[in-house]
Structure 1
Amino acid sequence: MVQSVDRALRILELLKEHPRGQGVTEVANSLQVAKSTAHRLLISLERHGYVQKVGKESTYHLGLKFIEMNYFVVKYLNIIEAARPLLEKLGRETEEIVHLVMLDDQEVVYIDKVDNQSTIRIYSQVGRRAPLYCTGVGKCILAYRNEEEILRYLNQVQFKRFTEHTFVRAEELVKELHMVKINGFSYDNEEHELGIRCVAAPIFDYKGEVRYAVSVTGQLHRMTDEILDHTIPKLLETVEEISMKMGFQKKLYK
């Protein structure tokens, strides 16, 4: 299986280097495999849209699937480009760590991070994943899914107790999500990591959907209720500006 994946990826690289296409024989020669093996790999890639057969010569080219993949990659990069200056501004104003995350299936993925000058060490780093149910960013994304999606999530998720504060019962989480919708932001009160507290808010795209969120994270002794009272308005202002950059037209907060 690993060998087949390796060969398939080598075919894609080969076709990228030959925009006029390659025949089965040429592919087989480049991979140093039998024509029957090259043909099977090409057929499989064609079935999934990653290559396409063109013309009387039956040459293979990269398929339309890459246009679709490019759309999602560009969309992913655009949010970072749009958000980065605002995340840096929020980091300067709060003097805490600022995260940008995106929804991926039943988890969040950290896609950008602005550090502060402290020596704080926390779980997050760009590329890391975390559950929805016990992170501020995850809960504020989950809260804005529709009822069917939330129910499906609750039926599929396996709750794990990271700390004594982690939500491990669906009823508790549903109540928390309801409050998130009312307030427009969510907390992580040591639910994912002891000694760490954060406040998070959602980003709305041009469709009004929430797939991204921003959080301000710090050590418990720094993230007091008084500090959060000053932090939350700055956070909400930040996500509103990012949402507008992403095409959202409505005013989020008064």
Structure 2
Amino acid sequence: MDIWLEPDSSKDKTRTSQTLARGLRILDCFVTYGEELGVAELSNLLHLPRTVVARLVTTLAEHGYLAQNQENKKYRLGMSAYILGMHANREYSLRQMAWPSMQCLAASSGETVSLTMLDEERLVGICIASIDSPLPIKLTTRTGSVLPLHRGATRKILLAYASEAIKETVLTQLQEISQSSPDSVESLKKELLEIRRKGYAYSEEELDDGAFAVAAPILTEKGELLAGIGVAGPIYRKTEESLQRLISLILSSAREIEKRWTQPL
């Protein structure tokens, strides 16, 4: 394993911040040396004391630039780093790769389409892209909106395909904070298992009165969650036939995005 040394102390540092430079070098490590790194590994790579590294990664995690894997306690790049990178290089972002499929899905369904990602630090779903229905009566999804993971198909699909540690944390918090009964938490557990069995999520009036939603996961080649794609609209336009058609369309769109992600041009 390579070691990153501190910059030459003979250089003029009066116009730079050593703390900021160290934080940026920590972020660089995740690009160069691996998707997940622990404090000890970062300490060795950067030739910095563990206490210094621990303080820096804690700060980066608090601001969303790193996210901690609750199972092995290692860190990886967080949602803030993703959003920054998305703005810096849109061509290769998930949003850009998903956009053609989202447009086709919106045109085929006539309903609002959204792309949602899991924020593992805040345990919420974040809408990173949306296309509103052209119809006068529609459900509007605002890009950047943040909602809890236990309500609505577009968020439940994220929770269903999240790690076991994240699922357990969300379910525990749900019971403690919202005073949900053990029965309702157990019911949600069963629903998440059913979502994974079917490969999609469906909800009615969980977030908005008179609205329904269908969502499917977008996964990596290893089966890890990238995002969720959802379609939402007013219940009065939904029939059993149209619902089955939407499910088929959204599953097809998710597979298209996965293929584009794993086989970029």
Q: Identify the TM-score tier after normalising by the shorter chain.
A: 0.5 to 0.7
Equivalent runs, 1:3-18 vs 2, <5 Å:
none
C-alpha separation between the residues in 2 aligned to 1:101 and 1:174? Answer: 21
C-alpha separation between the residues in 1 aligned to 2:102 and 2:20? Answer: 40
Equivalent runs, 1:8-47 vs 2, <5 Å:
23-24=13-14, 26=15, 42-47=17-22
Aligned to 1:84: 99
Question: Alignment partner for residue 100 of structure 1, among 81, 96, 115?
Answer: 115
SS at 2:118's partner residue?
A: strand
Equivalent runs, 1:184-203 vs 2, <5 Å:
184-203=199-218
C-alpha separation between the residues in 1 aligned to 2:12 and 2:116? Answer: 40
Describe the superposition over 1:109-152 as per-residue Cα deviations: whole angstroms up to 9, x where unpaired.
Answer: 11111122122354620011111110211111111123333112
SS at 2:238's partner residue?
A: coil
Larger Rg: 1
- TM-aligned CA distance change 1:98 to 1:145, over 3 Å: same
Q: Is the contact between residue 117 and residue 226 of structure 2 (CA under 8 Å) also seen in structure 1? A: yes
TM-score, normalised on structure 1? 0.67
* 2:146 pairs with 1:169: no
Q: RMSD in angstroms over aligned alpha carbons?
A: 3.1
User: What is the aligned-residue identity percentage?
Assistant: 27
Describe the superposition over 1:76-117 as per-residue Cα deviations: whole angstroms up to 9, x where unpaired.
Answer: 841111110111001111111111111112111111111221
Describe the superposition over 1:187-227 as per-residue Cα deviations: whole angstroms up to 9, x where unpaired.
Answer: 12111111110100000024321130111110010123221
* 2:162 pairs with 1:145: yes
C-alpha separation between the residues in 2 aligned to 1:120 and 1:131? Answer: 25
Aligned to 2:126: 109
| Long gaps (5+) in structure 2 | 1-10, 27-59, 66-76
C-alpha separation between the residues in 2 aligned to 1:218 and 1:243? Answer: 24
Q: Give the paired residue count.
A: 195
Q: What is the identity, as a one-letter code, of the residue corresponding to 1:107?
A: V
Q: Is the contact between residue 132 and residue 141 of structure 2 (CA under 8 Å) also seen in structure 1? A: no
Aligned to 2:142: 125
Question: Alignment partner for residue 241 of structure 2, among 226, 229, 234?
Answer: 226
| Long gaps (5+) in structure 1 | 1-20, 28-41, 52-64, 162-167, 249-254
Q: Is the contact between residue 91 and residue 97 of structure 1 (CA under 8 Å) also seen in structure 2? A: yes
The CA deviation at 1:169 is 2.5
Which stretch shifts more, 239-248 or 191-200?
A: 239-248
The CA deviation at 1:175 is 1.2
- TM-aligned CA distance change 1:83 to 1:160, over 3 Å: farther
